[in-house]
A and B are shown apart, each in its own frame.
Chain A
Amino acid sequence: DAGITQSPRHKVTETGTPVTLRCHQTENHRYMYWYRQDPGHGLRLIHYSYGVKDTDKGEVSDGYSVSRSKTEDFLLTLESATSSQTSVYFCAIGLAGGDTQYFGPGTRLTVL
């Protein structure tokens, strides 16, 4: 398995609180991605990064921000969590120049 870890693996928080999810890779891949998965919607891209400090929005980026200060870490922040952000969040890494992506184990986030 590709060296991808996500932390925390499970989190319960309250509406209005900030939350940061971390994705860490040991593969030195250039691309990193954050997806969310919800019943009936499949996997949807939130944000992605194509290098240190280089990020771009995906299809469901509202309410989320990201940062990538070093190659191995990609952080996803919910500035003020809402119940609609209850979901399973997956991080993925990608080989430069290709769409082959390797996914982490996921973080289950519940916003009460």
Chain B
Amino acid sequence: DAKTTQPTSMDCAEGRAANLPCNHSTISGNEYVYWYRQIHSQGPQYIIHGLKNNETNEMASLIITEDRKSSTLILPHATLRDTAVYYCIVGGTSGSRLTFGEGTQLTVNP
């Protein structure tokens, strides 16, 4: 599986958009980009995933560059409850293991 690189930490003001970057320059053609988050002491929570096109759901938007070497997760109106560690993961469609890195600690400030 391709490796991902994320900033260790980010801050965001409440009510503003949070933009979390991820680099995955070695991604292969059939690999998806997945985003999960983990709020302190809870199990990780699936957010969104995509292959090539930008994706949006009720939680977030995912923007994938045309060369697929990087992506950005956007939380359009961050709240205090969005404070969490966000993981960008590159994986296939085989239902196999996810490899979690260290993720980005997002802190939303009042």
- Residues of A in contact with B (beta carbons under 8 Å apart): 30-31, 33, 42-45, 48, 50, 58-59, 90, 92, 94-106
Contact = CB atoms under 8 A, between A and B. Distances in A.
Nearest to B34: A99
B101 A99 contact: no
Interface residues of B, number: 23
Interface of B: 32, 34, 41-46, 49, 89, 91-103
* 4 A-B pairs closest in CB distance: A103-B43, A43-B100, A99-B91, A45-B97
18 contacts: A31-B95, A42-B100, A43-B44, A43-B100, A44-B100, A58-B97, A92-B43, A97-B94, A97-B95, A99-B49, A99-B92, A99-B94, A99-B96, A101-B46, A102-B46, A103-B43, A103-B45, A106-B41
Chain B interface helix/strand/loop/mixed: loop
B43 A106 contact: yes
B95 to A, nearest CB: 5
B43, B44, B89, B96: most-surrounded residue (chain A CB, <10 A): B43
A30 B102 CA distance: 28
